Homo-oligomer: A and B are copies of this chain.
Amino acid sequence: MTTLLTTPIIPEVADLGALFTPRTVAVVGASDDTRKYGNWISVQALEGKQPVHLVNPNRPTVLGRPTVPSVTAVGEPVDLVVVAVPAAGFEAAVDDALAGGARAIVGISAGLGEAGADGRRLQERVVAKVRDAGARLLGPNCLGVLDHTSGLRLASNDFPVGDIGVISQSGNMALELATWLVDHDLGVSRFASLGNQADLTAADLIEAYAVHDGTAAIALYCEDFQDGRRLVSAASRAAAAGKPVVLLTVGGTDASVRNARSHTGAMVSSGIVVGAACRAAGMEQVSSPAEMAHLLQALVRTRLPSGRRVAVLADGGGHASVASDRAASEWLEAVEFSASLQDRIAAELPPTAGVSNPIDVAGGGEQDIHCFARVLEHLQTTDEVGATLMSGYFGGYGGYGDALAEAEVETAEEMAEVVARHSGSLVVQTMNHRSAAADRLRTAGIPVYRGIDEASWVLGRLAARGARGADGVPALPDPEAPLADTGYFVARHLLEEGGVPFPGAVEVCDEAELRAAGAKLAFPVVLKALGDEHKSDRGGVVLGIPDEEALVAAYRDIVDLLAPPSCSVEEMADLSGVVELLVGVRRDPRFGPVVLVGLGGVYAEVLRDVACALGPVTRDQAKELLLSLRAPHS
């Protein structure tokens, strides 16, 4: 399914100009009290490029500047109004903002949709007014908005400048992400705090970021996907436009679900459904802000490798071995090179070098630092591998003297040129990740990491992304209403209507019906108690019943044991040579009806059983284990 790639890219989109590139802004609730958002945002707003009106009816000045008592009192239209007043004043402030010409409103105020039924009603009323006025609302219960490309500073904190578009339902998570981005010389193009997503949702913001020139990739922290199908569609289009979405979400555990509900009143989707959505949309799911930054560095700097065979290029036997092992645990394979490639590499290196893959340059770095670029040339031009993982000490040779320092930076440039000239990709790990040579690599578009854990993990993710492509998002009809009756025979008939063959079966409620069924069906048969999901664990399924007498005996046992509302008598299916599949349907609160298809029978159960037999594995871990099997490969 690659419908995605043939779909016209971003046919029509809300670029949310009033939110990100307003001509004039106002802060309602501007304050001198340094414990209040109205203060923090005012301080930031005054650092921005747009004219700012500080609104406070009770104070003539705030931060030493004259205030206005209301937005309407400004006397000219204000494109964007930030509302940072207590919940009780929220509606009136929005009314005033709309009356003052606001096209976009940022709701900092908390205690609304996330705080119970009254707050939800108030929030819905305000959203209706905003939409009627043709405006849009970010939040409420959010931390603001920022656009470094337009000079807009309306968030409680500043962020480093760069080309990552950040959309977050948690302010602290965005702040932490920024600290990790800085490690990689990355920064933020735009930041939007989602809050309650009462009007604008993550999908809207992804659409706007996808057409934003200053944004190269999108970082999304989201607890509630709202219209999940629309989000998937928006993320697909962003990926197709070359702006991949990296998603950090929650819901892997009861604990995080409990917490997300109380944090933003979120409807949390199943992790399995989110994983499927990511595969369909070409979104990359991560599990921490650090992973997010690590992956973003590579997505914005390097091309995807072709395949999972990699060269490991290291200085030092230890780094060569450890990097090879780590690569293998990340779906990569350091295949042994052909004799002729080994010869070509050996010609560039000292005689003690290892050249079979991994490559250990041994003392090559000290003797002739340019050997790294020459070896890399061989690795980028061979079809034996699709990428190079470099590991060790590069960037540290400069410490041995000025001449070597200069040569090392030159080597970094040569390496970048080699990569640019050919089709392979290169990911570098070095303990000297903050050296002049490492900085030069980054500037030239080579991702550089401090640890082999993240470098190998990132390269594995890139390789999987390259191998997989996006599943694509098919056009889907709106979901039908759920069935009122989902009993066994209802499901069976539905599947039969869909063309799935079933052995003959009859529902029976008493012995007379049972005998009549026995006469109609071909023995051996199976008898199943209905009305209990775990019937087979409780003696509710009897297989291979040879004749009517045994059938009646089995029926009496089941009735004694379980007193089921009814039973099903079915001809035994011949399972020789078949593949058992598990097919399930669930209705996700945000993604709607989803189908689970997997290997059935023993395969569905054994992983869990093995896990439980071997030790105290949680259900979450068992689930994650199953997911991890799926994760790297479509």
Identify the A interface with B (CB < 8 A): 34-35, 110, 168-173, 175-176, 179-180, 221, 223, 248, 250-256, 258-260, 262-264, 287-291, 308, 312, 315-322, 324-329, 331, 333-336, 352, 354, 356-358, 360, 366, 392-393, 400-401, 431, 450-453, 467, 599, 602-603, 606-607, 609-611, 613-618, 620-621, 624-625, 628-630, 632-634
The winner among A35, A400, A453 for most chain B CB atoms within 10 A is A453
A401 and B34 in contact, given A255-B357, A336-B255, A360-B263 (Cβ under 8 angstroms): yes
Assess whether A170 is in contact with B319, with CB atoms less than 8 Å apart: yes
Give the contacting residue for A615; candidates B168, B291, B602, B630; CB below 8 A.
B630
A259 and B602 in contact, given A325-B252, A325-B287, A453-B288 (Cβ under 8 angstroms): no
Residue pair A603, B609 in contact (C-beta under 8 Å) = yes
Whether the pair B173, A319 counts as a contact (CB closer than 8 A) is yes
Given that A170-B317, A603-B609 are known contacts, is A326 also in contact with B629, CB under 8 Å in the complex? Answer: no
Contact among B251, B329, B616 with A287 in the assembled complex (CB-CB below 8 Å): B329
Contacts of A35 in B (CB 8 A): 366, 400
**Given A354-B262, A366-B35, CB of A256 within 8 Å of CB of B308:** no
Q: What residues of chain B lie closer than 8 Å to A606, measured between beta carbons?
A: 602-603, 606-607, 610
B625 touches A611 (CB 8 A): no
Contact indicator A614/B602 (Cβ below 8 Å)? no
Contact B629 A329 (CB under 8 A): no
Please give, as numbers and ranges, the residues of chain B lying within 8 Å of A431 by CB-CB distance.
172, 175-176, 179
B615 & A633 in contact (Cβ 8 Å cutoff): yes
Evaluate contact between B172 and A258: CB separation under 8 angstroms: no
- In the bound complex, residues from chain B placing their C-beta under 8 Å from that of A613 are 599, 603
The answer to whether A358 touches B256, judged by C-beta atoms less than 8 angstroms apart, is yes
- Whether A334 contacts B253 by the Cβ 8 Å rule is yes
Least Cβ–Cβ distance between A41 and chain B, in angstroms: 15
Q: Are B318 and A169 in contact (CB under 8 A)?
A: yes
The 3 A-B residue pairs with the shortest CB-CB distance, nearest first, are A170-B318, A263-B317, A615-B633
A250-B321, A255-B334, A290-B452 known; 13 new pairs, CB 8 Å cut-off, are: A170-B317, A171-B318, A173-B316, A175-B393, A251-B325, A253-B325, A263-B354, A264-B317, A287-B322, A603-B609, A603-B613, A606-B607, A625-B629
Contact A329 B599 (CB under 8 A): no
Chain B residues with Cβ under 8 A from A327's Cβ?
253, 255
| A603 adjacent to B599 (CB under 8 Å) | no
List the B side residues contacting A263 at CB < 8 Å: 317-318, 320-321, 354, 360
Q: Residue on B with the closest CB to A626?
A: B610
Would B393 and A172 count as touching, CB distance under 8 A?
yes
CB-defined contacts of A401 to chain B, threshold 8 Å:
34
Q: In whole Å, how far is A342's beta carbon from the nearest beta carbon of chain B? A: 11
Given A321-B256, A356-B258, A611-B629; A171-B616 close (CB under 8 Å): no
In the complex, 6 of the A-B residue pairs with CB atoms within 8 angstroms, ordered by the A residue number, are A172-B319, A255-B333, A263-B321, A290-B450, A603-B606, A606-B607
Contact A621/B328 with A356-B258, A401-B34 known, Cβ cut-off 8 Å: yes
The answer for the CA separation of A170 and B316 in the assembled complex, in Å, is 7
Which chain B residue shows the least CB distance to A320?
A: B259
A606 to B625, CA, bound (A): 14
Query: Is A336 touching B258 in the complex (CB atoms < 8 A)?
Result: yes
**Do residues B325 and A256 form an inter-chain contact, with CB atoms below 8 A?**
yes
- List of B residues within 8 angstroms of A179 by Cβ: 431
Name the B residues within 8 Å of A467 (CB-CB): 616
- How many Å from the CB of A42 to the closest CB on chain B? 16
Most chain B C-beta atoms within 10 Å of own C-beta, residue among A317, A324, A327, A354: A317
Q: How far is the CB of A610 from chain B (nearest CB, A)?
A: 6
